[in-house]
Structure 1
Amino acid sequence: MPSPASEGYVSVAVLKTLSLTFSVAGLLYNAQDYLLFHPDDNQSRVFVHTPSIVDLPFEHVFIRSLDGTLINLYFIGQADGRSASVPTVVFFHGNAGNMGHRLHNAAGLYCHLDCNVLMVEYRGYGLSKGHPTEAGVCMDAQAAIDYLGGRHDVDHKRIVVFGRSLGGAVAIDLAARPEYSAKIWGLILGNTFTSIPDIATALFKWPFLTVLPIFCYKNKFMSKLKIGSVMVPTLFISGLSDSLVPPLMMAELHRRSGSAHKRLATLSAGGHNDTWTCPGYYPTIADFLSEITEYLPATPPVSSSPSVLRSVVTAV
């Protein structure tokens, strides 16, 4: 039978362990925005390349997100009045830098797919105002779709949502919402993760993360739970040389997807940030868009377009 002294010692040890655990969890909770969102690299909050550097005409647009936050967009439309007769790809980028760092990928989509591209700058990134949070960037995505709904020079039946890495999680959240799914023709995901808890465990390999309760995560991006509600045609593009997001996560998202038309395309040489440069990347997307012609949505409901505060058209 343990003595009262030993019982007291055990109680103190348990309390200290619990205290340390909750302290670490609290620090991690409050630091998560800084661990996940990286908008400040190389002065990217003050300098954003425009599509003119890749010889594309564009509109520099500022709109209000759903909560009033000012966000920045680039609308890169096909010339000669063709923007209303081609698909429009809504581009959600990864967690670092700004949309100007993805212009060459956007130019590839524009040229190889003969489409318009709407590039979306999350709150707290580039010239957009505010601070990035999970709820906030998802609202920004919804505002971007609403903005397209108010344009008369796009084909509202051929809106394609495209997301890389963090942008894939944002895109999944958007496509899983019934009111927005009805406005989306197709979904394209590149090297994205199943959830923040999963990717944190994979990256940091700290044993305690495997038992950390979900409520300890400020940002969750539970894509693996949302993807089952995604019914639109979906293309998963997985770079098998990705050393950041395990390719198995893309395979799991594909398996869990609720879409009746889903396809997993793998590119063996593709790393996390350069899969878009691999041979076969753009033809894979072009083939997917050809395949889903029969899935064109019914006439989408009219959107209440957010306020456009400024739109500047730049020709090249």
Structure 2
Amino acid sequence: MPLSELIYPRNIPMGARTEVPRPSEFGLSDFEDLTIPTPDGESLSAFLIRPSNKQFARNITILMFHGNAGNIGHRIPIARALEGNSGCNVLMLQYRGYGLSTGTPDEKGLTIDAQTGLDYIRQRAGLRGTKILVYGQSLGGAVSIGLVARNQAQGDIAGMILENTFLSIRKLIPSAFPPAKYLAPLCHQIWSSEDVLPLITKAPILFLSGLKDEIVPPTHMKQLYDLCRAEPKIWKELPNGSHNDTVAEPSYFQYIEEFIRNYVE
């Protein structure tokens, strides 16, 4: 099996990959179902979710990058909690090759996708001029780190949230996929967050670490925190959080709300 198959799973039938739950299935009504073109000719599906409580809406847009399994439809409950607890807009971007987005995922392509999502916020009426908070889980954390590092000089990224992400794919493979450990040096999908994260100095960062993560060793998150040069940097542990359910741990959204209130808005 090619290493790209391990990093971006392709074992879901094409028909199943197009089954993307919609926000309306989770009780959300103020949303848009978007198709956003990329500079290299792909089409990315996305959901733009607006705060349901207009009275407490903030001038903040969360750009949300998901992990490598499933699609944005499976993360709608997270987006619903984010807009409900924080009063922020949420743009859920779906990488190429996932859900209804066209193309095939790889590091170069996802890098283009992330920039496309950020540029959409910068250009879209109603979002243009809002503070931007980048949020990434697992693979989405690596996507977020690269995006913020490339764009921090423009001054509109007000913060970043990282959950259960890794130092690099090469360092992740020996623990996540032990049979492939000797092939790790040959992996062309690098996502070297440990090298890129120290370049970020102009945006506060919240680290959310599930200490029972069975896929990304929690030591990866701790090392990223230690390498981080941004100020402030905030460390929060979720003691019983595994890779996919850290978001369900008590205090998860409380930590995010505190971060937004104290460092973003």
For normalisation by structure 1, the TM-score amounts to 0.77
Match of 2:238 among 252, 267, 279: 267
Task: Indicate the SS of the match to 1:271.
Answer: coil
| TM-fit CA distance, 1:157 | 4.3
Alignment pair present for 1:45 and 2:25? no
Query: Does 2:199 correspond to 1:226?
Result: no
Q: Equivalences for 1:184-203 in 2 at 5 Å?
A: 184-203=157-176
Q: What displacement does 1:206 show? A: 5.3
1:74 partner SS: strand
How far apart, in 1, do the equivalents of 2:112 and 2:153 lie? 12
Instruction: Say if 2:56 and 2:87, in contact at 8 Å, map to a contact too.
Output: no
- Decide whether the 8 Å contact of 1:161 with 1:184 is kept in 2: yes
The answer to whether the 8 Å contact 2:61/2:130 transfers is no
Query: What secondary structure sits across from 2:157 in the alignment?
Result: coil
Q: Sort the Cα spacing of 1:208 and 1:279 in 2 relative to 1 into closer, same or farther, 3 A.
A: closer
Q: Which residue type is aligned with residue 23 of structure 2?
A: P
Say whether the 8 Å CA contact 2:53–2:87 is kept in structure 1: no
Q: Distance in 1 between matches of 2:184 and 2:82?
A: 40
State the partner residue of 1:140: 113
Change (3 A) 1:280 1:79: closer
Instruction: Give the aligned length.
Output: 262
| Structure 1 portions without partners, runs of 5+ | 1-27, 297-316
SS of equivalent to 2:33? strand
Distance in 1 between residues matched to 2:94 and 2:204, nearest whole Å: 25
**Equivalent AA in structure 2 for residue 132 of structure 1:** P
Indicate if the aligned counterparts of 2:83 and 2:89 stay in contact, CA closer than 8 A: yes
CA contact (8 A) 2:210 2:239 kept: yes
Q: Which amino acid aligns with 1:228?
A: P
Determine helix, strand or coil for the equivalent of 2:64. strand
**Structure 1 residues 236 and 265, CA, compared in 2 at 3 Å: closer, same or farther?**
same
Percent identity of paired positions between Structure 1 and Structure 2: 37
Q: TM-score, normalising length from structure 2?
A: 0.92
Report the CA distance shift for 1:258/1:39 in structure 2 as closer, same or farther (over 3 A).
farther
CA displacement at 1:217 relative to structure 2: 1.4
Distance change in 2, residues 1:47/1:263 (3 Å): same
Preserved contact between residue 233 and residue 260 of structure 1 (Cα < 8 Å) = yes
CA 147–260 in structure 1, closer or farther in 2 if over 3 Å, else same: same
Partner of residue 7, structure 2: 36
* Gap regions ≥5 residues in structure 2: none
> Which structure is larger by alpha-carbon Rg, 1 or 2?
1
Give yes or no for contact 1:243–1:272 (8 Å, CA) kept in 2: yes
RMSD value over aligned CA atoms? 2.2
Query: Is residue 73 of structure 2 the alignment partner of residue 103 of structure 1?
Result: no
Kindly indicate whether structure 1 or structure 2 has the higher relative contact order, using CA contacts under 8 Å at least 6 residues apart.
1
Q: Following TM superposition, where does structure 1 have runs of at least 4 consecutive aligned residues deviating by more than 6 angstroms?
A: 80-84
Contact 1:233–1:259 (8 Å) recurs in 2: yes
Residue by residue over 1:39-79, the C-alpha shift from the partner in whole angstroms, topping out at 9 and shown as x without a partner, is 65364422100111111121011111131211111000125
Please give the residue correspondences for 1:279-298 in structure 2 after superposition, counting only pairs within 5 Å: 279-293=250-264
Tell me by how many angstroms 1:86 deviates. Answer: 2.9
Distance in 2 of aligned mates of 1:207 and 1:78: 44
